Amino acid sequence: MRLILASASPRRVDLLRQIGIEVDVWPCDLPEQRAVGESPLAYNQRVAREKARAGWERAGADPRRHALGADTEVVLDDRVYGKPGDAAGARAMLESLSGRTHMVLSSVAVYGADIDAVLTSTSTVRFACLDAATLAAYVAGGEPQGRAGGYAIGGFAACFIEHLEGSFSGVMGLPLHETSLLLKRIGIDPLG
């Protein structure tokens, strides 16, 4: 039986295919709200776990199957930047990231009858200073919508990144190193 992916993200499907993993997609629309006093890391891991569990349950809670959930958050000064609600929100996020270094937390979780595990990739990303015309053109192009922090490293926003320390795939939305470690725990070896 194939792995369940509790996400509608085409980027996550593509990243899994990159390492030879085919999945059944069972997206879960869960509220993503950071609790008062919850650290960005605890929030990120909780959401990934909740998605994995919800995907497994939505697919019938078959004890022979496992579900994978993931969550990616951009963090600056302890503020979590989720997906912008509109163009103005995207522009505000990008303006605050301009010329600064932020953190990207990308957690992946596996859930099933025999496992409830999560691993996290932490990356640092430094943006160049973005002028008003660049911001306006990028936001108008629509790429920020549906992206944590209002940008897609796998798209045009790659031009904004002066330095990346960590996981490129994690910043894209699914840290493949951590994912492969979890998959091996449930008997799925991408290499073998």
What's the pLDDT at 129? 98
Answer whether residue 68 is part of any domain. Answer: yes
Q: How many separate helices (H) and strands (E) can be counted in the chain?
A: 6, 7
- The band of 118, judged by pLDDT with boundaries at 50, 70 and 90, is very high
Q: Based on the number of CB atoms within 10 Å of its own CB, is 153 exposed (0-12), middle (13-18) or buried (19 or more)?
A: buried
Can you tell me the distance from the alpha carbon of 88 to that of 5, in angstroms, rounded to the nearest whole number? 31
Region 41-45: mean pLDDT is 98
Answer whether residue 181 is part of any domain. Answer: yes
- Reported as type and span, the H/E element at residue 91 is helix 87-97
Q: Which tens digits make up the pLDDT trace of 54-94?
A: 999 999 999 999 999 999 999 999 999 999 999 999 999 99
- The band of 112, judged by pLDDT with boundaries at 50, 70 and 90, is very high
Q: Which domain holds residue 155?
A: 3-185
**Cα atoms found within 13 Å of the Cα of residue 79, Cβ hemisphere only:** 8
Region 31-46: mean pLDDT is 94
Residue 165 has pLDDT above 90, yes or no: yes
User: Total structural domains in the chain?
Assistant: 1
What's the pLDDT at 132? 96
Answer whether residue 190 is part of any domain. Answer: no
Answer whether residue 192 is part of any domain. Answer: no
Can you tell me the distance from the alpha carbon of 72 to that of 1, in angstroms, rounded to the nearest whole number? 27
What's the pLDDT at 36? 94
Of 31-35, 127-131, 179-183, least confident by mean pLDDT is 31-35
Residue 157 has pLDDT above 90, yes or no: yes
Can you tell me the distance from the alpha carbon of 134 to that of 187, in angstroms, rounded to the nearest whole number? 46
Can you tell me the distance from the alpha carbon of 175 to that of 108, in angstroms, rounded to the nearest whole number? 7
- The band of 100, judged by pLDDT with boundaries at 50, 70 and 90, is very high
First CA to last CA distance, the chain = 16
3-state secondary structure at position 30:
coil
CA 111 to chain centre: 17
Answer whether residue 108 is part of any domain. Answer: yes
CATH number of domain containing 88: 3.90.950.10
Indicate which residues carry an active-site annotation. 71
Any residues with CB less than 8 A from the CB of 69 and at least 6 apart, and which? 6, 7, 28, 47, 48, 49, 50, 51, 52, 53, 54, 55, 108, 109, 111
Answer whether residue 191 is part of any domain. Answer: no
Can you tell me the distance from the alpha carbon of 153 to that of 46, in angstroms, rounded to the nearest whole number? 24
What's the pLDDT at 30? 86
Answer whether residue 74 is part of any domain. Answer: yes
